[in-house]
Structure 1
Amino acid sequence: MSQSAQQMFDLHREILDQAVDTISSRNFWTPYPESMRKYPEDAVKAAPSNLESLLNQPFTLINSVGSSTEQVGGEVSPYGFELGITYDQPDPNELIASMQVAMRDWRNAGAQARVGVCLEILSRLNAMSPEIAQAVMHTSGQGPLMAFQAGGPHAQDRGLEAVAYAWQAMAQIPAAAQWVKPQGKHDPIVMDKRFHIVPRGISLVVACSTFPTWNTYPGLFASLATGNPVIVKPHPGAILPLAMSVRVAQQVLKEAGFDPCLVSLMPDSVDAPLTKTLALNPAIKLIDFTGSNAFGDWLIQNATQAQVFAEKAGINSIIIDSVDNLRAVTANLAFSLSLYSGQMCTTPQAVYVPRNGIETAEGHVSFDDVAAALAKAVQAFLSDNDRACTVLGAIQSLETQARIDECRGLGDIVLDSEQREHAHFPNARIHTPLILKVDAEQQAAYSEERFGPVSFVIATDNTAHSIALARDVIGKKGAITLGGYTTDEAVAEQLEELAMEVAAPLSLNLDGGIFVNQSAAFSDFHATGGNPAANASLCNQAFVANRFVVVQSRRHGQSN
């Protein structure tokens, strides 16, 4: 192990130990504060100008493997301007060949060196959080606060969580052991055994446009910590945040005495995509993917030489049986439906309500009035335009923007989507939620994912019918989140049972400052890997344990 890597491990050992303890206790903890006030004021103020200094020019990385086939770019901020940044696209074959050579030293360095480097990368990324937030905001369309939290410290939390699981899994394997089998009157049989943690091979991380860092860091750090070189393949619309992240990783790797190509960027364009070609390369042994069902399924079915960890999409559902305070419940749901314009894999889409209405502490409320209360809550929450623009963010893609119009005819409009104007970015794509009312029989409308600010209030026969419908839809299409509201403990148990049956995490009776589409690292398991929406969870032992194998050697030894 190089001294630099050992120093990195020693420097961050306390954080590592705390992370390992916390994934067992599942308590709240983070070494990366989510408040901007915890970061140097100068860094926060300088972040917008730092972004401007990167625009309209080539982005340079530490590592340059072989010849660059071309320069790619074309990112356009959802807030209405072109970034004008170009990136080197390395030759895939040359890059893979270089990574295969570099992997040997990375493997032989051992778990402490690899984990030490990963922890140092995360520490430096955390210090850059204000700057990374600007890159996330102007590629994903997230609002400024969300871009800072989700793109910075929360993403780093998930990366650290993956490193903690990787360290825990590797630490369970001893480097050597002496095996002594008694033979009665005869001398015992003695074998000296050595155990090697061996990476599977090159890892490909296929990133999404909406959460470029949050969804990328878990796979990146899980693979890197366990010895696998990582190719980061960003979405063509959100390259910059990952280019910045890769540059930091390459800087740390170089300082620690390793080949910086161990983490490399492979950008492409919409017109000339590379993901399928990369995914089918025999050297690619691990693939992390976040995105559409169609492409996730394609990877699983075709990239058979690789372990594929896929987070796709599902029909996130809310079942309303009864509530204490309807205003508090609808205010909570209004935030969930509005946050980042529904462009989250955790945003509710299907809200099941009995057609005969629900009971509240203030009396019976009809189905139509429940739907109207939800619409009113969204309107009230977004009544201040500045706050609305901050919470809604901007629509990342033109396809998502078009989907709003496409969905208007799928049901009765309870709340129409409005276009809003941003005070500082007049060309920003900002739209409020569209809420539709449908009958349970209109399953074709609500049982397909409608990514973006589109949701359905579904009239069912009763709560048992709501549960049955959710069971059927989630069983077929999957879900990342499931929410429920009831004042009846027996119904609460039925919802708990439903959650286990469809393998979707349940949030029950949320009416305060926690929302169904939030997921806390070290405590919440994001997705379960148990339904069609995802075949892996962020993050658990299964997410890291298959990224390496244990190769042993043995020889005759002598007893002590």
Structure 2
Amino acid sequence: MTQAAQQMFDRHRETLDQAVTAITNRSFWTPYPESMRTYPEDAVKAAPSKFESLLNQPFALHATGSTQQVGGEVSPYGFELGITYEQPNPQELIATMQGAIRDWRDAGTEVRVGVCLEILSRLNAISPEIAQAVMHTSGQGPMMAFQAGGPHAQDRGLEAVAYAWQAMAQIPATTKWVKPQGKHDPIAMDKRFHIVPRGISLVVACSTFPTWNTYPGLFASLATGNPVIIKPHPGAILPVAMTTRVAQQVLEEAGFDPCLVSLVPDTVDAPLTKALALDPAVKLIDFTGSNAFGDWLIKNATQAQVFAEKAGINTVIIDSVDNLKAITANLAFSLSLYSGQMCTTPQAIYVPRSGIETADGHVSFDDVAAALAKAVQAFLSDNDRACTVLGALQSRETQARIDECRGLGEIVLDSEPRAHTQFSNARIHTPLILKVDAEQKAAYSEERFGPISFVIATENTAHSIELARDVIREKGAITLGGYTTDEVVAEQFEELAMEVATPLSLNLDGGIFVNQSAAFSDFHATGGNPAANASLCNQAFVASRFVVVQSRRHSQSN
């Protein structure tokens, strides 16, 4: 262990111990504050100018072998970034990584974990800068870009490191094995146990959450000894390029080849993901994105273990409520946040066509739908706040999807464009809410990515549960919400959640929302339904990234 690496581990040991405690008791904890006010004021103020200083020029990273410059990012707020990135030759990079893996493996658990913790600490220090990069590639609003792109993403990375540490710490380096033989001398064996990485890890980053969805796989693989190739989405390269640069700097300072974490950007016209995924040296793949490509990876990249988060039909079932205004306000925020471009945003909202009971009396189906539309309108009535919460649509395809979906049901609330006071060309659109009947299953049982949701008229709550069960079993879901004043129905929701392996949020009406999850406490996805085959984060997410190779010999000592 180099002195620098030892210092990194020692510096962050308390944080590591606290993280392990947090994933054990699942209580609130974070070392990375989500309030921008806790970060140095000068760093926060300087972040926009630092972002602007990166525009319209090459972005420097360690690369290996022959390279070419690629780029083409366009901010969803309406301007070209003009940044180019070195694209290394994949085969030369993989050969370099294979040459570096032995030193990284033999460095041991403490070194690898110490390096990962130092990377996360330095990423946290530049959270305001990362927020600018996330905002202008994903389209997230400023506050969400800061929180989800910075400290919350770092939380998820640290969570993965804690699980990796916990899993590896269970394996002793050596042991003396003694088997009694009755009247005969016992058999004694000296055994050694080596933690051996699987191989090259490929992390396929997404465009909407380029850090949040990338850090778990990145740090789970790196901590367990696997070199990592990050393949960013062509529209959101900068946040993961900044991450890669920090990782490379720390690796180099610790005495390792900086290319142990490398960026391989590509373009829409000349994609590289399939070729990388099929390389025999790639043994781990983390993917967030469409069902079609996630299924292709699982079917074709058979030499690798694939951790895939895909699409699902996130669901809310309304049976009865105390305060309709409070629950529609809560749902209005969930539907509006980042224009529904979250893998956790509700799409299917089941309501009995006979209506629901509230503390103020019976409310019809149509009035429930109208109350939800009214809540969204009220929440977005202030245009500046609306633009901040909605953010911008990352892709023009999402903008087109809103138009395509208008004919799928009766419009309760139409989507409308909003003008941003600072960015006149920003793609900003409010939610589209449609009413449909339960029989119109083709409309609401396909993922409609973006600010699009359906209020579905069912025969009764039992029918709502039945439909939700069928749709989620077939298509999957990341989130499930339920509203009821009846404890028997609440238990039915709990049973449904277990049957379809989807986390349940019950009767949310305050400052917690169904599409938010807290690291160290909430398991993001379960790996138990078609929307995702892994959970962020649990032991299974990290423990299969290494194997234990033992050696044994007859003991030479008593």
With structure 1 as the length reference, what TM-score do the two structures score? 0.99
Report the equivalent of 1:176: 174
What pairs up with 1:292-303 in 2 under 5 angstroms?
292-303=290-301
Q: Secondary structure at the match of 1:53?
A: helix
Of 99, 117, 120, the residue aligned with 2:118 is 120
SS at match of 2:17: helix
Aligned mates of 1:280, 1:15 — CA distance in 2 = 37
In structure 2, what is the Cα distance between the partners aligned to 1:357 and 1:344? 29
Q: Can you list the C-alpha shifts for 1:201-258, whole angstroms capped at 9, x where unaligned?
A: 0000000000000000000000000000000000000000000000000000000000
2:10 is matched with which residue? 10
Matching residue's letter, 2:379: F
1:250 aligns with 2:254: no
Q: How does 1:64-213 map to 2 (within 5 A)?
A: 64-68=63-67, 70-213=68-211
1:298-447, aligned counterparts within 5 Å?
A: 298-447=296-445
Which position in structure 1 is the counterpart of 2:522?
A: 524
Q: Secondary structure at the match of 1:310?
A: strand
Equivalent residue for 1:46?
46
Provide the rounded CA distance (Å) in 1 between the counterparts of 2:422 and 2:35.
23
User: What amino acid sits opposite 2:27 in the alignment?
Assistant: N
Partner SS for 1:188: strand
Distance 2:320 2:557 in 1: 70
SS at match of 2:226: coil
Residue 402 of structure 1: how far off its partner (Å): 0.4
Contact 1:180 1:559 (8 Å CA) reproduced = no
In the alignment, residue 80 of structure 2 is paired with which amino acid?
Answer: E
Q: Distance in 1 between matches of 2:366 and 2:494?
A: 27
Partner SS for 1:14: helix
Which stretches in structure 1 are left out of the alignment for 5+ residues? none
Letter in 1 for 2:463: H
Q: CA deviation at 1:559?
A: 4.7
Tell me, in whole angstroms, the C-alpha distance in 2 between the residues paired with 1:324 and 1:546. Answer: 46
CA distance in 2, matches of 1:57, 1:122: 26
Q: CA deviation at 1:268?
A: 0.2
Unpaired stretches in structure 2, ≥5 consecutive residues: none
Cα distance in 1 for partners of 2:170, 2:99 equals 27
1:64 deviates by 1.9
Q: CA RMSD in A?
A: 0.4
1:469 aligns with 2:467: yes
Report the 3-state secondary structure (helix = DSSP H, G, I; strand = E; otherwise coil) of the residue aligned with 2:27: coil
SS for the counterpart of 2:29 is: coil
Matched residue, 1:262: 260
* 3-state SS of paired residue (1:33): coil
For residues 286-297 of structure 1, what are the structure 2 equivalents within 5 Å? 286-297=284-295
Report the equivalent of 1:547.
Answer: 545
SS of structure 2 residue aligned to 1:523: coil
Q: Deviations over 1:400-450 (max 9, x none)?
A: 010000000000000000100000001000000000000000000000000
Question: What residue identity is the alignment partner of 1:422?
Answer: H
Secondary structure of 1:524's counterpart equals coil
For the 8 Å contact 1:528–1:537, the answer to whether it is kept is yes
Q: Give secondary structure in 2 for the equivalent of 1:313.
A: coil
Residues 210-225 of structure 1 aligned to structure 2 (within 5 Å) = 210-225=208-223
Cα displacement string for residues 73-101 of structure 1 (whole angstroms, at most 9, x for unaligned residues): 00000000000000000000000000000
> What are the Cα deviations for residues 136-159 of structure 1, in whole angstroms up to 9, with x where unaligned?
000000000000000000000000
* Structure 2: distance between partners of 1:559 and 1:285: 40
Deviation of 1:262 (Å) = 0.2
Q: Is the 8 A contact 1:75 1:236 kept in 2?
A: yes
Q: Do the aligned residues in 2 keep the contact of 1:126 with 1:153 (CA within 8 Å)?
A: yes
TM-score by length of 2: 1.00
Distance in 2 of aligned mates of 1:380 and 1:28: 32
Runs of 4+ that moved beyond 3 A: none
- Note the C-alpha offset of 1:543: 0.1
Please say if residues 321 and 354 of structure 1, whose CA atoms lie closer than 8 Å, have aligned partners that are also in contact.
yes
Q: Aligned partners of 1:373, 1:57: CA distance in 2, in Å?
A: 49
Distance 1:402 1:32 in 2: 37
Shift of 1:399: 0.4
How big is each residue's C-alpha offset from its partner over 1:280-300, in whole Å with a ceiling of 9 and x where there is no partner? 000000000000000000000
Percent identity (aligned): 87
Conserved? CA contact 1:420–1:432, under 8 Å: yes
Query: Which residue identity does 1:65 align to in structure 2?
Result: T
Instruction: Using the TM superposition, give the Cα deviation of residue 2 of structure 1 relative to its aligned residue in structure 2, in angstroms.
Output: 1.0
**In structure 2, what residue type is equivalent to 1:411?**
G
Once residues 67 and 412 of structure 1 are traced to their aligned partners in structure 2, the CA distance between those partners, rounded to angstroms, is: 56
Aligned-residue offset at 1:558:
3.6
Which among 473, 487, 490 is matched to residue 488 of structure 2? Answer: 490
SS at match of 1:456: strand
In the TM superposition, what is the alpha-carbon distance from 1:3 to its structure 2 partner? 1.1
Tell me the alpha carbon deviations over residues 14-40 of structure 1, each in whole angstroms, 9 at most, x when there is no partner.
000000000010000000000000000
Secondary structure, in 3 states, of the residue corresponding to 2:203?
A: strand
